[in-house]
């Protein structure tokens, strides 16, 4: 599996810091922009040097990525796009947890939205992706799982906003409403965008508080 660097990985690197990479490391466009903005340098190393230093570096790419399992699921309407996205995710270096469905035979989208939501909130997955024909039903269902903040995204702007402002942990997509190339861009940007925290943390905390109050009724 090729190592992958996203903008989220750079959060642990200090201003004007340095991150060792190998010649097969995949660096997302957003990570390159963030590195340029903060003066972070990507230092090319050999595989042997990189492996030797990995155990001693808290910001080692492999250790960062190993925890970034992406749970993915779909109903029959999203199955074909799910299979395409799985190929991209593997190329980008993300470990996958495929929770079905496994064919185009009709199934019920709430089952898969719940499964992905549970994988995220239990810690089995870092983030989750759910697909159905429109993406709406899966978003509604996933948001019934305590701890899930599912966002239906349909372009790059909504993908970035849902992560930066809302700390969304589940992405839902309408497989019949967007073309595969658009879905690929949305997923790539969504996974690479870190939560901005700051003033947005207060608002996310209020979302969590609503959920907690509702659970006590």
Question: Which tens digit of pLDDT belongs to each residue from 90-133?
Answer: 988 899 999 999 999 999 999 999 999 999 999 999 999 999 99
Boundary-marking domain end, from 65, 90, 106: 65
211, exposed or middle or buried, with CB in 10 Å at 0-12, 13-18, 19+? Answer: middle
Same domain, 59 and 78: no
Q: Which of 16-20, 83-87, 191-195 has the lowest mean pLDDT?
A: 16-20
Task: Identify the pLDDT of residue 61.
Answer: 46
- Give the range of the structural domain holding residue 51, as residue numbers without chain letter: 4-65
Q: Is residue 84 part of a domain?
A: yes
- Give the confidence band of 184 by pLDDT, cuts at 50, 70, 90: very high
Q: How many angstroms separate the CA atoms of 24 and 30, rounded?
A: 18
The answer to whether residue 62 scores a pLDDT higher than 60 is no
The answer to whether residue 209 scores a pLDDT higher than 70 is yes
Greater pLDDT, 9 or 25: 25
Q: Is residue 200 part of a domain?
A: no
Q: Is residue 217 part of a domain?
A: no
Percent of the chain scoring above 90 in pLDDT: 62
The total number of structural domains in the chain stands at 2
Same domain, 183 and 101: yes
Same domain, 76 and 180: yes
- Which CATH number goes with the domain that contains 154? 3.40.1400.10
Q: Is residue 203 part of a domain?
A: no
Same domain, 82 and 35: no
Same domain, 48 and 89: no
Same domain, 18 and 108: no
Same domain, 148 and 181: yes
Same domain, 22 and 47: yes
- Mean residue pLDDT of the chain comes to 88
Greater pLDDT, 9 or 148: 148
Task: Identify the pLDDT of residue 17.
Answer: 84
The answer to whether residue 171 scores a pLDDT higher than 50 is yes
Q: Is residue 115 part of a domain?
A: yes
Q: Which residues are catalytic?
A: 165
């Amino acid at each position: 599996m090729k190592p992958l660097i996203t903008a989220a990985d750079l959060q642990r690197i200090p201003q004007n810091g340095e991150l060792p990479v190998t010649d097969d490391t995949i660096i997302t466009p957003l990570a390159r922009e963030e590195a340029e903005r903060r003066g972070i340098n990507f230092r090319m190393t050999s595989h042997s040097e990189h492996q030797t230093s990995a155990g001693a570096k808290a910001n080692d790419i492999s250790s960062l990525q190993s925890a970034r399992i992406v749970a993915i699921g779909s109903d029959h309407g999203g199955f074909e796009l799910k299979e395409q996205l799985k190929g991209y995710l593997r190329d980008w270096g993300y470990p996958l947890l495929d929770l079905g469905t496994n064919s185009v035979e009709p199934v019920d989208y709430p089952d898969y939205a719940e499964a992905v939501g549970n994988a995220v909130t239990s810690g089995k997955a870092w983030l989750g992706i759910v697909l159905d024909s429109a993406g709406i039903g899966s978003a509604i269902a996933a948001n019934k799982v305590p701890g899930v903040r599912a966002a239906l995204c349909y372009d790059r702007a909504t993908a970035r906003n849902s992560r930066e402002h809302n700390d969304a942990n589940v992405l839902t997509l309408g497989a019949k409403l967007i073309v595969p190339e658009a879905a690929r861009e949305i997923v790539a940007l969504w996974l690479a965008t870190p939560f901005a925290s700051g003033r947005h943390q207060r608002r996310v905390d209020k979302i969590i508080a609503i959920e907690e109050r509702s659970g006590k009724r």
